[in-house]
Structure 1
C-alpha cells in the first residue's frame, strides 16, 4: 500500500538518508514529503541535492524550503555570503560544491528554485519547515520568511495546556486552521527528546541530524517512525554543525 512519509532535516547527511529509506523499505509507490534543510552540516550537502533530484524521478516528492536551503540557494545563484550562515554550516556546503561543475550547480539552482514554502494535503495537514505567523493561515503571510525561520509556532505548541483541544477557549486559533502541522527547523534534542515530538497538533520531525541526533521519517497515517543511526556516527571524521 502506498504511504505518505514525512522526513526531517537532513543537513548534508546523505549516508543517514540512504540508511533511513532502506530501513523504511521505501518503494516508488510511496509519497515523500521533505521538510527542508537538505544542506549545511555534513560533507554530503551537494550530494544530498543530487540524490533528491534523482529520487524525484521515481517517487512523488514534495520539497519544502528550509532556511539553510534559502541561504545556500542565494550563494549558488548570486554569490551572496552571510557570516552567520558560514558559521552555522554554510562553509560545509561551499566546500562540498567545490567538486561540482557549473552545469551541476545550475541543475541544483533549478532544484532550489522549485522548492515550495508550504504544502497542504487533502487531509488538511500542513507541512512547513518552520511555521507561519498570520492568524488567517500561510496563504495570508506578507513575506515567505516565517515559513523557514519562524520558531513561535513550535514555542506556542509546547506551552499549550495538554488538556486543551481545538475549539476550547484558549486553544490557539492559528493551530485550529489545520488538522495537523508537521515542521522541522528546531531540533527536539534541545528539550531532551530523540524522536519526533508532538505538542497539541504540531509534530516536530527535526531530531538533531545536524548535531548528535538521528534523521527521522514518519508514516503520517500509521504514525510508524523510522530512524537512522546517530548521523555523527556515520561521519566519524567530521564535526557537522557541532
Structure 2
C-alpha cells in the first residue's frame, strides 16, 4: 500500500537520512514530503541535496523551503552572505560546496529555486516548514517569509488548553483552517521531547537532528514514527550546530 511520509529537518545529515529511509523501508511507491532545512549543520549538506535530486527520480517528492535553504540558495545564486547564517550552520554549507563544480552548483541552485513554500492535501492537511500568520490561511499570506521563519504557530499550539476544541471561543482561527498541520523549524527537544510531538493539531517533526537529536519520519495517515540514530553519533568528528 502506498504511503505518504513526512520527514523532518535534515541539516546536512545524509547518513541519518539514508539510515532513516532504510528503517522505514521506503519504496518507490511512497510519496515523500520533506519539511525543509536540508543544509547547514553536518558536513554532508551539499551531498544531501545531490541525494534528494536523485531520490526524486524514483519517488514522488515534495520539497518544502526552509529558512536555511533560503539562505544557502541566496549564497549559491548571488554570493549573499549573512553573519547570522554563517554562525548558525552556514559555514558548514560553504565548506561542503568547496569540491563541487560550477555545473553541480547550478544544478543545486535550480533545486533550491523549485522548492515550494507549503503543500496542502485535500484542503485538510497542511505541510509547511515553519508556519503562517494570515488568519485566512497560507494562500492569503502577504509575504513568503513566515512560511520558513515563523515560530508563532508552534508557540500558539503549545499554549492551547487541551480541553479547548475547534469552534470553541478562544480557539485560534489559524488552527481551524486545517485538520492537521505538519511543521519543522523549531526542535521539539526545546520542550523536552525526542520524538515528533503534537500540540493541538500541529505535528512538529524537527527532533533536533542539527544538534544532539535524531532525524524523524512519520506516516501521515497511520502516524507511525521512524527515527535515525542520534545524528551526532554518525558524525563523531564533527560539532554540527552545537
Partner of 1:59: 59
Q: Write the mapping of 1:137-216 to structure 2, written as runs, cut at 5 A.
A: 137-216=137-216
Once the 2 structures are TM-superposed, how far is the Cα of residue 123 of structure 1 from its aligned partner?
5.5
Once the 2 structures are TM-superposed, how far is the Cα of residue 37 of structure 1 from its aligned partner?
0.1
SS class of match (1:215): strand
Partners of 2:212 and 2:80 in 1: how far apart? 29
Partners of 2:102 and 2:165 in 1: how far apart? 52
Report the count of equivalent residues: 242
Q: Runs of 5+ in structure 1 lacking a partner? A: none
Partner of 2:133: 133
Normalising to structure 1: TM-score of the pair? 0.99
RMSD of aligned residue pairs (Cα, Å): 0.5
Partner deviation per Cα, 1:44-86 (whole Å, 9 max, x = no partner): 0000000000000000000000000000000000000000000
The runs of at least 4 consecutive aligned structure 1 residues that moved more than 6 Å come to none
Partner of 1:43: 43
Q: Runs of 5+ in structure 2 lacking a partner? A: none
Partners of 2:146 and 2:155 in 1: how far apart? 14
Partners of 1:74 and 1:111 in 2: how far apart? 13
Partners of 1:168 and 1:228 in 2: how far apart? 39
Once the 2 structures are TM-superposed, how far is the Cα of residue 122 of structure 1 from its aligned partner?
1.8
1:33 aligns with 2:18: no
Once the 2 structures are TM-superposed, how far is the Cα of residue 124 of structure 1 from its aligned partner?
1.4
Once the 2 structures are TM-superposed, how far is the Cα of residue 127 of structure 1 from its aligned partner?
0.1
Partners of 2:166 and 2:7 in 1: how far apart? 26
Partner of 1:109: 109
Partners of 1:140 and 1:220 in 2: how far apart? 25
Once the 2 structures are TM-superposed, how far is the Cα of residue 189 of structure 1 from its aligned partner?
0.4
Normalising to structure 2: TM-score of the pair? 0.99
SS class of match (1:229): strand
